[in-house]
Structure 1
Amino acid sequence: MKLERRHDIDWLRVIAIGLLLIYHIAIIFQPWAMFIGFIRGPELMEGLWTPMTALNVWRIPLLFYVSGMGVYFALRKRNWKQLLGERSRRILLPFAFGFIAITPLHIYIFQAYYNMPLSYFPHAGHLWFLGNIFVYVLLLSPLFFYLRKNEAGKFKKALSNFMQNPFGPLSISVFFMAEVVLLKPTLFEMYAETWHGFFIGLLAFFFGFLFVYSGKDLWNTLLRWRWLYLGLAIALYGLRFFVFDLKIPGWVMAIESNCWIFGLFGFSYKYLNRPSALLSYLSQAAYPVYILHMFVLYAGGYLILPLDIPVFLKFAGIVAFTGIVCYLLYEFLICRIGFLRPFFGLKVKCIQPGKEKELKEAVGKSL
């Protein structure tokens, strides 16, 4: 059976990783950067954090949703052994490689920036996300395969019918609200290596799978009511920012998070669900860039922060440095040295814009 390629989901993954780079660079210019292991510039740009406070409640949950969707497409073409083998190659191997060879690099730069003794410190760092994803695959794949075998059953029909109502997607926020109430995270947006991050990721991963499993009725609902979800997200953020000074209860932030995500799903389904050579290239590059970006942005900060230039130029310079160096490392090192590709989650030849034959082959082999 020929599977429909969801280009909007590919775009959301690319966009989310692009925003992740901007978010992490913005942290460098906040007064508390060093307390969470980031280098900090001598001048601050605290105003940068205002848009980041809108972003940080949904950026990571969005990636978990999209990852769950990817598993749905993957298991449509694989049995459980093939799925676990493929996910081990694409997730576990890059995670292990990054743990010992990539994340220690930005710790070296941190130590050098603060004139600390250099020491080798292997750790998960920003790759905690990959560790979570692999655990979710192990935990949920039996259920996912059961659902796949019963796609013509009553559950899918009931789910599809329920999701035709605009409050159908919103209703799953009850589970996210319960997670916050039960775990009581100190900060809703503190996902990395916390139980809150693990369970909110597990929920988003599971419902991401169900969203594509349920069929087009849900996506038509997200499309039809996208302005409602976006409006609710903006209203809840306004309430959080202007009334509660960003200290609103976490269960409200859980609703806001899903409203942002559902709005994005609706708009991307309308405007981004079409193929392009650029998307094929960026979709493949996004994963290696995610793995590399912390080391590169720390290097950019190390070089640019001491310069005697205005602080906004430092921010722009680190953004440009990170983007350009990540591109160069991907295009001229990872992409062209065959044995390196598996360590960055790649399993097909790298795609360059305009190479139509390679694009077709890559799309056919991708998830």
Structure 2
Amino acid sequence: MERRYDIDWLRVIAIGLLLIYHIAIVFQPWAMFLAFIRSDILSTELWKPMTLLNVWRIPILFYVSGMGLFFAMRKRNWMQLIEERTKRILVPFLFGIVAITPLHMFVFQKYYNMALNYYPHMGHLWFLGNIFVYVILLLPLFLWLKKNENNKLKLIWQKLMVYPLTPFIINVLFITEAFILKPSPFSMYAKTWHGFFLGFLCFFFGFFFMHIGKSFWENILKWRWLYFGIAAILFTIRFTIYATEAPGYLMVIESNSWIFAVFGFCHKYLNKSSKVLSYLSTAAYPVYIIHMIVLYGTSALVLPLKLPVYMSFPLIILITFIGCYIIYEFVLRRINLLHPLFGLKWNFKFLEGKKKQEIATKTLDQ
């Protein structure tokens, strides 16, 4: 199966937006409620465009993760898949809890002159924990779908994909989840049951849409402007009438409308390889893991300068992105022993070379 470069781009773009979103939190009055360093100079205006991202920024990552699992399963059996997901997801998750998230809490405590306490916690890595649980729970179903390639469910969905709003059928399940759990606010995904079950649905349908295949992508490619229009209308209603927090069923429809539109536009314009994409797609995961440390450190340096928001916000963005690049490029990427801890492939070539050299030396000695 050919590589889907648009899905790689989606992952990179979503993580980039996540960084900017987290930086915007620094300038909100409720930042400390989420244990973020807060600026003394606030900007609620800055938050308004962020609310557009809020309803789909995390769900689309779950969709993309489900799509990624589909590709991973094409060349692995169930034991190989669990082994690979354990190395790539569970190991960085557990390492992050004890060695990564406590670091940005040290910065937080230092900034506010608090006693320095070691505080292992999931923090922003909750997403990885959810993904690993979804893999374990859904693997039997996914294996069945893989084994029964032309199952009736797939064939029915393929036929229905000729209609423009067929992907909206899944909104029934998402609306049911929102109706039962009544999340407030809707975008409170981290470490909540709403975030868990919403992510579960997104992860499943990300896999299932890849299983459906060409007919799904033809649908969202053809009707991408329709999905974009629906999303824009619902956002306008939410923004003007409901002060950004609409009823759950409207939030669900808007969220998936944005996601289907983004899928469509990315599939049309970004499904091509490039050296930039190759680099960024590898860097995205470790950058996601380390970005909070860099963000907190940057905030602690920039905020005491008391600059206006229009200067401090882009400055923190710039330094955070540069800091993440430096750590990834000159530390994580180059030290092989760190690769498994940050979701990178472990390069064994240097070990193999060293082993061959030792064997050759022993042979000469004999």
TM-score by length of 1: 0.93
Give the superposition deviation at 1:43.
0.3
Summarize the alignment of residues 267-346 of structure 1 with structure 2, pairs less than 5 Å apart. 267-346=265-344
1:118 corresponds to: 116
**2:89 paired residue number:** 91
State the distance in 2 between where 1:9 and 1:158 align.
Answer: 25
Query: Counterpart of 1:172 in 2: which secondary structure?
Result: helix
* Aligned equivalents of 2:82, 2:259: Cα separation in 1: 28
Residue 170, structure 1, aligned to residue 168, structure 2 = yes
Are the equivalent residues in 1 in contact too, given 2:186–2:248 (CA < 8 A)?
yes
CA deviations on 1:80-110 (whole Å, 9 max, x unpaired) are 0000000000000000010000000111111
Bigger shift: residues 63-72 or 244-253: 244-253
**Equivalent residue in structure 2 for 1:66, among 64, 67, 73:** 64
Equivalents in 2 of 1:153, 1:60: separation in Å?
30
Give secondary structure in 2 for the equivalent of 1:278: helix
Whole-angstrom distance in 1 between the partners of 2:64 and 2:213 = 15
What letter matches 2:29 in structure 1?
P
> Equivalents in 1 of 2:190, 2:245: separation in Å?
20
Shift of 1:333: 0.2
**C-alpha distance in structure 2 between counterparts of 1:231 and 1:186, whole Å:** 26
Deviations 1:23-61 (A, max 9, x none): 000000001111111110010121110111110000000
Cα offset for 1:111? 0.6
User: Could you tell me how far apart the structure 2 residues matched to 1:123 and 1:74 are?
Assistant: 29
Alignment of 1:22-171 (within 5 A): 22-171=20-169
5+ residue gaps, structure 2, are: 348-366
Larger radius of gyration: 2
In the alignment, which residue of structure 1 is the partner of 2:212? Answer: 214
Report SS of the residue matched to 2:305.
coil
Alpha-carbon shift at residue 18 of structure 1 (Å): 0.1
Structure 1 residue 160: Cα displacement:
1.2
Distance in 2 (alpha carbons) for counterparts of 1:106 and 1:33:
15
Q: Distance in 1 between matches of 2:253 and 2:85?
A: 31
Shift of 1:218: 0.7
Residue 167 of structure 1, CA deviation: 1.4
Q: Distance in 1 between matches of 2:190 and 2:250?
A: 20
Amino acid paired to 1:146:
W
Q: SS of the counterpart of 1:132?
A: helix
Query: Which residue of structure 1 aligns with residue 345 of structure 2?
Result: 347
Counterpart amino acid of residue 204 in structure 1: C
By how many angstroms is 1:348 displaced? Answer: 5.5
Of 228, 231, 239, which aligns to 2:229? 231
Question: Secondary structure of 1:306's match?
Answer: helix
Tell me what 2:361 maps to.
none
**Match of 1:251?**
249
Structure 1 CA distance for aligned equivalents of residues 182 and 240 of structure 2: 23
TM-score (ref. length: structure 2): 0.94
Task: Name the aligned partner's letter for residue 331 of structure 1.
Answer: E
Counterpart pick for 1:264 among 255, 258, 262: 262
> Cα RMSD between the aligned structures?
0.9
Structure 1: 5+ residue runs without aligned partners? Answer: 350-367
Aligned sequence identity (%): 61
Aligned with 1:231: secondary structure? helix
Structure 2 counterpart of 1:12, from 10, 13, 21: 10
CA–CA distance in structure 2, aligned partners of residues 15 and 57 of structure 1: 16
Residue in 2 aligned with 1:193? 191
- Aligned 8 A contact 2:70 2:211 in 1: yes
Deviates more, 1:194-203 or 1:106-115: 106-115
CA drift of 1:128 comes to: 0.1
Please give the alpha-carbon distance, in whole angstroms, between the structure 1 residues aligned to 2:182 and 2:238.
18
Letter in 2 for 1:123: H
